[in-house]
Every structure is written in structure tokens, then in C-alpha cells.
Copies of this chain bind each other. A is one copy, B any other.
Amino acid sequence: MRQEEKSQEARRRIAEAAIDCLVELGYHGSSTTRIVERSGMSRGAMQHHFPSKQDLIVGATDILLEGVIRRSEPLLADLEARRIGFPELVERLWKHFIGSRRYQAVLELMNASRTDPELQSRITPTLDRWNRIIDERMARLFSSVSGDPSEVALLMQMTRALLRGLALRDGGPLPPAMVRRMLERWAQLVEPCLSWPAEKENPCRS
């Protein structure tokens, strides 16, 4: 069906324009007019593919987060294959995902969903899915020196929270060098708590 793929391409174009608008103009600056102008489509096209603005935002959210999940597959696979260490994992998580330009759109959506139940009900499952995927992979890669399996998940949640907090900077923009220092320091603090299964055994605390 050639029409099917044309249709999907149109949906994608509009959704990408919406994502760009979220990054550059924020949620409350992203009107349907500006989004459709940036996409190069017509109002009618948008109306056809996304009957309401909610549908548009939700559609853009799905494309955005699905893209995140899809693009994280090869990175995670590479991680497992090369037995990469925790510091490098943190660095990549920052570079490719949470520190990336597109994540600003995710932040906008997460923030907007706090006071928009309908949006929240659509965002939460996808977000949780991504978190679960990463947690599962991590649990396979690392294990806690304390023997508690929930320990790895806890540390991963903390890692995500830290990176999120860095992406949503307060005050002046954090210089990249400062960010790098924090990521390194964090990895340094956490690494002794993790061990590669049946490889090395670092004690977590003296």
C-alpha cells in the first residue's frame, strides 16, 4: 500500500515539527499554527491526521519516545557485547539521550503532563517502558555487591534522576565541563557498588 506509507510519512513530518517546536518554543509556545507552518503542511492535512491538538501532542510523544527506545537498542547491545563499564554507560546515557537536544521536548511533555491527566495517561506507560528496558539490561550487566537485586535498580533510578536534574538546569546554563565532572564523579561513587557477574568483586563500602 503506497498510500499507507505516504500517510505515515505525513504523520511523521508533522510530529517532528511538533517536537522541534517543543524544543525551541516550549509547550506553551507550540501552537498548532506554528507547528503546521514549520512542517510545511496545510491545516487540513494536520486536521486529517491529528483531529485535535491532544491527538497531535500524544502522537508526537509516541514518536519521540518510541524513537528513544528504538535508538537505545544498539547502544545497549553494544554495552553487553563489549562489557562496558559504568562510567562509560553514564557518559553515553547523557550524550545520546538525557543530555541531547531532543530530551528537552521530553522534559516539556513530562512537565505538561503533570497538570494534564489525559496527556499523563498516555506518556507514563511509554516512559515506564523505557525505564524498565534499561533497568532489565542493567540488571543483566551488573549485579550488586551486596547481593540485593533491587540495589541495581535503585542505583539506576538514581542515575536517571541525576541526569534529569542536570538536563533541567536551574540558574545559569551549566558548562559542559562541569557536567562532565559531575558525571565522572557520580560514576566514581557508584562503581564500587556494582560488580560484573563472576568477574570482579569490588566492595561497596569499606
Contacts and interface: CB of A to CB of B under 8 A. Distances in A.
Interface of A: 24-29, 104, 107-108, 110-112, 114-116, 124, 127-128, 131, 154-155, 157-158, 160-166, 168-172, 178, 181-182, 185-186, 188-190, 192-193, 203, 205-206
Contacts of A110: 168-170
B171 A157 contact: no
A112 B171 contact: no
Contacts of A108: 111
How many copies the complex holds: the figure is 2
Given A157-B182, A190-B189, A206-B203, A115 B165 contact: no
Contact of A171 (B28, B127, B155, B181): B127
A28 B157 CA distance: 29
A3 to B, nearest CB: 36
B112 A26 contact: yes
Nearest to A169: B110
Contacts of A116: 26
Nearest to A161: B165
A107 B115 contact: no
Given A189-B189, A206-B206, 16 more contacts: A27-B28, A28-B28, A108-B111, A110-B168, A124-B172, A127-B170, A128-B172, A131-B171, A160-B170, A161-B166, A164-B164, A165-B168, A168-B168, A189-B190, A192-B205, A203-B206
Contacts of A171: 124, 127-128, 131
A155 to B, nearest CB: 8
A34 to B, nearest CB: 12
